Chains A and B, each alone.
Chain A
Amino acid sequence: MSSEWPLWEVFIRGQHGLNHRHVGSLHAADAEMAIHNARDVYTRRNEGVSIWVVRSADITASSPSEKGPLFEPSNSKVYRHPTFFDIPDEVGHM
């Protein structure tokens, strides 16, 4: 129905220095209203220092039916994981 508000995806940054993370979606007439609604719906418990919103329709997603060709080839390539290095003790936990 065209009179429905479009859907927006909401990204919140929890603390300075961290990445914005997807927290959910909501309806709003435009970007400004989406920010207001995101503030009210997703930051009620002091979760955020920054909000991004983007129209859900503007997100291009990979197709589930292509997951074989897209992801399976990386299954058996252990050499892509950097697990073959000896880490000097002084580096500590990495």
Chain B
Amino acid sequence: MEAETTTEAAIDRAALFEFLLRMGDNTLMLGHRVSEWCGHAPALEEDIALANTALDLIGQTQLWLGLAGEVEDKGRSADDLAYLRDVYEFRNLLLTERPNGDFGKTLMRQFLFDAWHYLRLQTLLSSTDRRIAEIAEKASKEVSYHLERSRDLVIRLGDGTAESHARMQQALDDLWPYTGEMFMTEAADTALSAAGVAPEPQSLKAEWDELVAETLSEATLRKPTDGYMHGGGRRGMHSEHLGFVLAEMQFLQRAYPGATW
């Protein structure tokens, strides 16, 4: 009886750790991608706005990965998890590691993610795990604004000039096959959902579709039909791009272990 309870708790803890890595790796990877725009955005105002978004996401990463380290209970900090894991140990959605492309593509990726991120955090506000609910509450205020902004700019660029419209449609068509992964549900998700920690990813799909469809229609963009969807990020099967991101992001800690300043 004793042993059984311990095993069950251990399974839950492993599932919870994976879930927290997924949340934290998404915000870490997208935060890094968005930060690549710093000093390069088409207008000063957009440059600062993107840097703000990147910083929000990296701040959320500290909370998610910090909690992941606590749950894992092996003495790893958020920094250890961010800087000392290799590609196959990352659990982020493939969408978040897609290259920035042009400004429009960056915003389209942001919007598709923000819409999911916003809905995901809303469901976590009532998580039975108080620590998760608290992080979700802090993050959802930031993410509401991210969504408001990326939605606004997707509409402006989609319903803008012939050039901006064509670029946004292209970005949407390119990124669409990476959206399905957000809603893929696996056995661990069912266990977390049953425990009231986090509803299954699949349950967000209908609302996400509605939110995205409404925005794309206002942006005069054609919503692609769901076809083949890439997956595997949560099992550590990533695109070649993640290795390049990590090479840059982790360089300092890899070359000078434990360096601080």
CB of A72 closer than 8 Å to a CB of B: no
Q: With A5-B43, A27-B43 given, is the CB distance from A36 to B49 under 8 Å?
A: yes
Q: Does A49 contact B (CB under 8 A)?
A: no
Is A37 part of the binding interface, using a Cβ–Cβ cutoff of 8 Å? yes
Contacts of A28 in B (CB 8 A): 45
Contact A26 B52 (CB under 8 A): no
B205 in the interface, Cβ–Cβ < 8 Å?
Answer: no
Interface residues on B, range: 10 to 19
Question: Separation in Å of the B146 CB from the closest CB of chain A?
Answer: 11
* B152 lies within 8 A of A36 (CB): yes
Q: Once the chains bind, are A44 and B52 in contact (CB under 8 Å)?
A: yes
The CA of A27 and the CA of B44, in the complex, are separated in Å by 9
Contact B49 A40 (CB under 8 A): yes
Bound-state Cα–Cα, A26 to B43, Å: 10
The answer for the CA separation of A88 and B155 in the assembled complex, in Å, is: 63
**Using Cβ atoms and an 8 Å threshold, which residues of chain A touch B48?**
40-41, 44
Main secondary structure of the interface of B (DSSP, over half): helix
- Asked if B13 CB lies within 8 Å of chain A CBs, one says no
User: A27-B43, A28-B45, A29-B156 are contacts. A36–B149 as well, Cβ < 8 Å?
Assistant: yes
Contact flag A37-B152 (CB < 8 Å), given A5-B43, A27-B43: no
Of the candidates B52, B152, B156, the one whose C-beta lies within 8 Å of that of A40 is B52
Closest-CB distance, A7 to chain B (whole angstroms): 11
Within 8 A of A (CB), among B46-69: 48-49, 52
For the complex formed, measure the closest distance between the CB of B192 and the CB atoms of chain A, giving whole angstroms: 35
In the complex the two chains form, what is the Cα distance from A39 to B146 in whole Å? 12
Number of A-B residue pairs, CB cutoff 8 Å, is: 28
- Chain A contributes a number of interface residues (CB within 8 A of B) equal to 13
- By a CB distance below 8 angstroms, the chain A residues around B149 are 36
CB distance from B54 to the nearest CB of A (A): 12
A5 to B149, CA, bound (A): 17
User: Closest CB-CB distance, B144 to chain A, in whole Å?
Assistant: 12
Known A-B contacts A5-B43, A27-B43; the reply to A37 vs B156 at CB < 8 A is no
- What is the 8 Å Cβ interface bit string for chain B, positions 11-42, against chain A (1 contact, 0 not)? 00000000000000000000000000000000
Nearest A residue (CB) for B53: A40
Contact B152 A33 (CB under 8 A): yes
Note all chain B residues with C-beta closer than 8 A to A86.
none
A4 vs B148: C-alpha distance when bound (angstroms): 23
B-contact bits for A10-38, CB 8 A (1 contact / 0 none): 00000000000000001111001100110
A40-65 toward B: CB 8 Å interface, digit per residue (1/0)? 11001000000000000000000000
Q: Could you give 19 example pairs across A and B, Cβ below 8 Å? A: A26-B44, A26-B45, A27-B44, A27-B45, A28-B45, A32-B152, A36-B49, A36-B148, A36-B149, A37-B49, A40-B45, A40-B48, A40-B49, A40-B52, A41-B44, A41-B45, A41-B48, A41-B49, A44-B48
Question: Which 3 A/B pairs are nearest by Cβ-Cβ distance?
Answer: A40-B49, A37-B45, A40-B48
Query: Known pairs A27-B43, A40-B48. 12 more at Cβ < 8 A?
Result: A27-B45, A28-B45, A32-B152, A33-B152, A33-B156, A36-B49, A36-B148, A36-B152, A37-B49, A40-B49, A41-B44, A41-B45
